[in-house]
Amino acid sequence: MLNKIKIDSESRLSEEQKIKDRRRNVIILIQRYLVNAGYIDSATKLGTESNLSLNQYDAADNIDLYMILCEFEQFYEMKFMKPPKLVKKVDGQNTPGLPRIPSSGKSSTTNASNSNNQNSTGSNKKSTQQSKEKDNNNKDAKNEPDSLEIQGTGVQQKQSNNEEANQKDWFDPRVLKGLPDYSDVPEFQQLAAYLQRDICSENPNVKFSDIAGLDQAKKLLKEAVLVPLKYPHFFQGILEPWKGVLLFGPPGTGKTMLAKAVATECRTTFFNVQASSVVSKWRGESEKLIRVLFDLARHYEPSTIFIDEMDSIMGQRGSAGNEHEGGRRMKTELLIQLDGLLKSKKRVFLLAASNLPWDLDIAMLRRLEKRIYIPLPDQESRESMIRRYIPQEMSENLNYPQLAEALKNYSGSDIKLVCKEAAMKPLRRLLSQIEDIQVDVRTVKQKKQQNLTSYDDVRPGPVTETDFAEAMNQVKPSPSVFENQYLKWEKESGSC
């Protein structure tokens, strides 16, 4: 008897020790994987919380968490003839603890029959009637379409929305690789963490089809970013994709919208770089930021670097007395990084936009292989924009071609402002009528006790031609350099 107690005790202690060893091994394997993948801060925090570090224990030779996962998937698929499901996507609409609402099919019928059975008096006649009703209800439920059944229309809808689903999945919280290894220069590690905030993680939700006109610009951007990712074997040697594109033109013509479309559809790591991200007051800091920015872009390839208002960073380099030494060094570093980008095989694309292309440095223009002019919208594009902002449901017999002709010198953003101002006219009239109504205080107190009236039936009136004319008188075209100067520069330095 004593021997049995001794054996049980030793066996229990041995099992507990195995559990502790497994937990320790899991933490050590996770730490080693995080370090190898570049998640240094996460590995350090895990070691601090678990009181385990790689200085005490480390993964054995030829043992890796990724390799263990691959072997498990192969074993599971070989044993059960299907791949394992290791993770699931969490739906934010699912609230834990709340009861599930039954569907309109079999579940509701079964619940109704169960309640009838509970309320029965026990007589055979009632139970027989309830069983018949239950059978009839079940037959009716079988004839009714179940909410969980796959209908043919659902499959077609899924196929038609396949592209939109892929775009949403791309902007779901995705795993980024750890930062590059800057163990030799710890200062670069902090700069990389600072620049990582410029990575676009939210879906701009702007497609190329949402942009009116600009067919040549959209074609070249797809040719530079989207198509090489789909068919990389075609873009080799002399057919390597473009590494730098400049979009120039008057303000409000759609340059930033094209960049948003690239971020939405081209499925690359998108860096939205601003001047404040790469310009620093400390000596030598700006050059380091430029270098680390391109290191991150190469690390997260395929990637796109978008720099808006490029002329504010890369203006023409004059004599030493006309610009600061720090700005000159920053421009030189940017040119060096772009030169290395053109010669490397990394899939990094630079997209720049400028309203003053003639102020850009000549060396920068050489590195921007394509320089595309984004003009003011044409007649067809203006009409398409007006129809989109003010559809026929909101208007009263508007002459869209005539309005598009009247907005000839307006940019895309100006047309949007005109449409918004015209749409505000009926709303102002409605609000004026509401404010002019005299209401007694006692009536207000009585109405508080009653249910509020729905506002769905109360809508502003339609937009008329007069509203549009008044809006055009109030909203003038934004001041810009004459279009002839853009056309002249395109003729001399453009490359589309």
- Binding residue per annotation — 326? no
Tokens of 117: 């059975």
Q: How many angstroms separate the CA atoms of 197 and 274, rounded?
A: 11
Distant-in-sequence, close-in-space partners of 134: CB < 8 Å, separation ≥ 6: 109, 113, 116
Residue 468: what residue type? Answer: F
Tokens of 352: 């720049």
Q: Which residue has the tokens 């520069």?
A: 489
DSSP state of 96: T
Distant-in-sequence, close-in-space partners of 193: CB < 8 Å, separation ≥ 6: 179
- Binding residue per annotation — 154? no
Tokens of 53: 């570090």
- Binding residue per annotation — 255? yes
Q: Which of 165, 386, 191 is nearest to 291 (CA)?
A: 191
Distant-in-sequence, close-in-space partners of 154: CB < 8 Å, separation ≥ 6: none
Roughly what angle, to the nearest 10 degrees, separates helices 285-299 and 186-195?
Answer: 70
Q: How many angstroms separate the CA atoms of 180 and 37, rounded?
A: 9
Q: How many angstroms separate the CA atoms of 228 and 225, rounded?
A: 6
- Binding residue per annotation — 256? yes
Alpha-carbon radius of gyration of the chain = 33
Tokens of 1: 């008897």
- Binding residue per annotation — 251? yes
Distant-in-sequence, close-in-space partners of 249: CB < 8 Å, separation ≥ 6: 255, 355, 373, 374, 375, 376, 486
Q: How many angstroms separate the CA atoms of 386 and 415, rounded?
A: 7
Q: Which residues are annotated as a binding site?
A: 249-256
Q: Which residues are annotated as a binding site for ATP?
A: 249-256
